[in-house]
Amino acid sequence: MINVFGRAVGAPSNFTRLILLSALSVALMFLDHRGHHLEKIRAALNVLAYPIQLIAAAPAYVGGGVADFFTTRDALRQDNEKLLAERQALNARLQQFEALEEENARLRRMLGSAALVADKAIAAELVEVSTEPFTRKLVVAKGSRDGVYVGQSVIDAHGIMGQVTQVATNVSRVTLITDAGHAIPVLDNRSGLRMLVFGTGDPDSLKVPYLTSASDIKEGDLLVSSGMGGTFPPGYPVAQVDKIVNDPNEAFLAIAAKPAAQLNHGKQVMLIWRGTPPKNTDGAR
Amino acid sequence: MRFGPDARRRLTLTGTFAAAVILAIMPFPTWAEPFRPDWVGLVLIYWCLAAPERVSVGTGWLLGFLQDVLYGSLLGSNALGKTLVAFLTVRLHLQLRMFPRWQQAVSVLGLLVANQLLVLWIRGAIGQAPETIGYWTPSVVGALLWPWLFVILRDLRRRGGIV
């Protein structure tokens, strides 16, 4: 019994509590979605949640360790040989790449446009936990103390994976390009057509809306990031057009694409920092 | 180590909820994700059913909030869903206790779907609604698991001395 203004009041009924807590939830949702007032609180809560996530990830981690322990010498040697061969092939291509980069910079200077700059990439370990069902997100064991920032691009060896959406001191959350509602500006590598690629929540499919049947796009086309909007760096592979359905009853084409990055594999991702353009280039911007 | 009856009760409740939360964020292969039931929702329903004077709306909100933090979802979305589930279960607990096990499972399906529907509306409102029909399978799997989960949790409840 509590005494409120001289009247004895019992503990609040379940209904009262439902109303109060619902109002609290709705208020939280508004603050979180509109204006992002809760970023500091979120970061603190994420730090507190980290130990729970580590506990949940422990069995998978131990399982991986045990599997590593039982890897035979033979398998390791084979792996090593394969990697060496791969490295040699990549190095051979890199020789050409460096010459081309130089040439590209020279041509761009002649045209008077800003040179493309190389980005810095750092590998980050994944914390193997699931996020909300039917969302496509990852937890990465790097945070603001490592210089991670909201909006940072995340890639793997094959293409763009997504962007950082929440940052705490030691951990951050990455929204993948397949998450429902996520959009990334791209261009068709063959025709130069600009478009947006949306996630659907499906783990390995993307959609390309708002293109009419007159658009120059074909099945098998590679879509690379265009760099428009400034969030993603230009020139990284994003997806490959998988299937185009032209339904005459619909205003737009129904286009499905497959992400280029391997979003559901691997234990590491690459965080990239945009390279800062060199100061005194003789080309005007 | 010996625990007093009160500590044992608290340990049973916290233990089952902690296990549910861990199971909810355990890594799972992507293809199997639709088959992971809402563990937190199921355990919450059980305790609201069996011990409504100990576990009700407030616990539901706290669990939902914890889920929001762990999932990185919109703060308050799962909290609202779990609050509603807890309220409905407590409101209906006398009827639900009388039901035969299969009928109870059907009611649990209803409660889980209500929770998912609320979360889906919220996610739709901020433009992040998933576009797969598989979204509903966790509720179905949860309802199918209910009879076994009920027996396990009942044993734990008796051992924990919660009446």
Residue B23 has pLDDT above 60, yes or no: yes
Pick from A87, A117, A147: which residue ends a domain? A117
Instruction: Report residue A116 as tokens.
Output: 């493309």
- Say yes or no: A132 and A268 in one domain: yes
In A45-74, the residues whose Cβ lies within 8 Å of chain B are: 45-46, 48-49, 52-53, 55-57, 59-60
- Residues A195 and A188: beta-carbon distance below 8 Å: yes
Rounded percentage of chain B residues whose pLDDT exceeds 70: 99
- pLDDT at residue A219 in the model: 93
- CB proximity B42 to A under 8 Å: no
Please indicate whether, in this complex, the C-beta atoms of A131 and B135 are within 8 angstroms of each other.
Answer: no
- Give residue A272's Cα distance to chain centre: 11
Let me know if residue A255 belongs to a domain: yes
Let me know if residue A5 belongs to a domain: no
Provide the residue type at A64 as one letter.
Answer: G
Residues of chain A with pLDDT under 50: 1, 278-285
CB-count burial class (<10 Å; 0-12, 13-18, 19+) for B148:
exposed
Let me know if residue A22 belongs to a domain: no
* Chain A CB contacts of B36 below 8 Å: 130, 133
- pLDDT at residue B61 in the model: 96
The rounded distance, in Å, linking the Cα atoms of B124 and A73 is: 52
Provide the angle, in degrees to the nearest 10, between the axes of the packed helices B39-50 and B101-125.
130
- Average pLDDT rounded to a whole number, residues B58-77: 93
The rounded distance, in Å, linking the Cα atoms of A257 and A217 is: 12
- Say yes or no: A94 and A153 in one domain: no
- pLDDT at residue A60 in the model: 80
- pLDDT at residue A5 in the model: 59
- Say yes or no: A187 and A133 in one domain: yes
3-state secondary structure of A207: strand
- Say yes or no: A49 and A162 in one domain: no
- Say yes or no: A52 and A176 in one domain: no
Pick from A117, A150, A182: which residue ends a domain? A117
Cα distance from A180 to chain B (closest Cα, Å)? 5
Mutate to test the interface with A, among B68, B84, B135 (most CBs of A within 10 A): B68
- pLDDT at residue A279 in the model: 47
- pLDDT at residue B80 in the model: 96
Give the model confidence (pLDDT) of B140-155 as tens digits: 999 999 999 999 999 9
Pick from A117, A143, A167: which residue ends a domain? A117
Instruction: Report residue A182 as tokens.
Output: 């996520």
- Say yes or no: A54 and A169 in one domain: no
- CB proximity B147 to A under 8 Å: no
- Say yes or no: A174 and A133 in one domain: yes
Let me know if residue A220 belongs to a domain: yes
**Residue A54 — φ and ψ, nearest 5°?**
-65, -40
Cα distance from B107 to chain A (closest Cα, Å)? 20
Let me know if residue A101 belongs to a domain: yes
* Chain B CB contacts of A45 below 8 Å: 69
Residue B30 has pLDDT above 80, yes or no: no
Let me know if residue A145 belongs to a domain: yes
Rounded percentage of chain B residues whose pLDDT exceeds 90: 75
Please indicate whether, in this complex, the C-beta atoms of B72 and A46 are within 8 angstroms of each other.
Answer: yes
Give the model confidence (pLDDT) of A59-107 as tens digits: 888 887 888 788 778 888 999 999 999 999 998 888 888 888 888 888 8
Let me know if residue A16 belongs to a domain: no
Give the model confidence (pLDDT) of B91-142 as tens digits: 999 999 999 999 999 999 999 999 999 999 999 998 888 877 888 999 999 9
- Say yes or no: A89 and A180 in one domain: no
- Residues A184 and A208: beta-carbon distance below 8 Å: no
Considering only residues A7 and B62, tell me which one the structure prediction assigns the higher pLDDT: B62
- Residues A162 and A140: beta-carbon distance below 8 Å: no
Let me know if residue A26 belongs to a domain: no
Residues forming a β-bridge with A197: A184
- pLDDT at residue A113 in the model: 67
Cα distance from A251 to chain B (closest Cα, Å)? 20
Cα distance from B147 to chain A (closest Cα, Å)? 23
**DSSP states of B94-159:** HHHHHS-HHHHHHHHHHHHHHHHHHHHHHHHHTT-----GGGGHHHHHHHHHHHHHHHHHHHHHHH
Domain with A94 in it: 37-117
ipTM, 2 decimals?
Answer: 0.87
Instruction: Report residue A274 as tokens.
Output: 């945009």
* Structure-token match 């299937």, residue found: A243
- Say yes or no: A124 and A264 in one domain: yes
- Say yes or no: A91 and A123 in one domain: no
**Residue B84 — φ and ψ, nearest 5°?**
-65, -45
What's the number of domains chain A is made of?
2
- pLDDT at residue A78 in the model: 92
The rounded distance, in Å, linking the Cα atoms of A135 and A63 is: 25
Q: Which of B153, B142, B136 is nearest to B46 (CA)?
A: B153
- Average pLDDT rounded to a whole number, residues B71-86: 93
- Say yes or no: A100 and A206 in one domain: no
- Say yes or no: A137 and A207 in one domain: yes
Q: Which residue among A59, A134, A137 places its CB closest to the CB of B132? A: A134
Cα distance from B86 to chain A (closest Cα, Å)? 9
* Chain A CB contacts of B66 below 8 Å: 49
At A198, which CATH number? 2.40.10.340
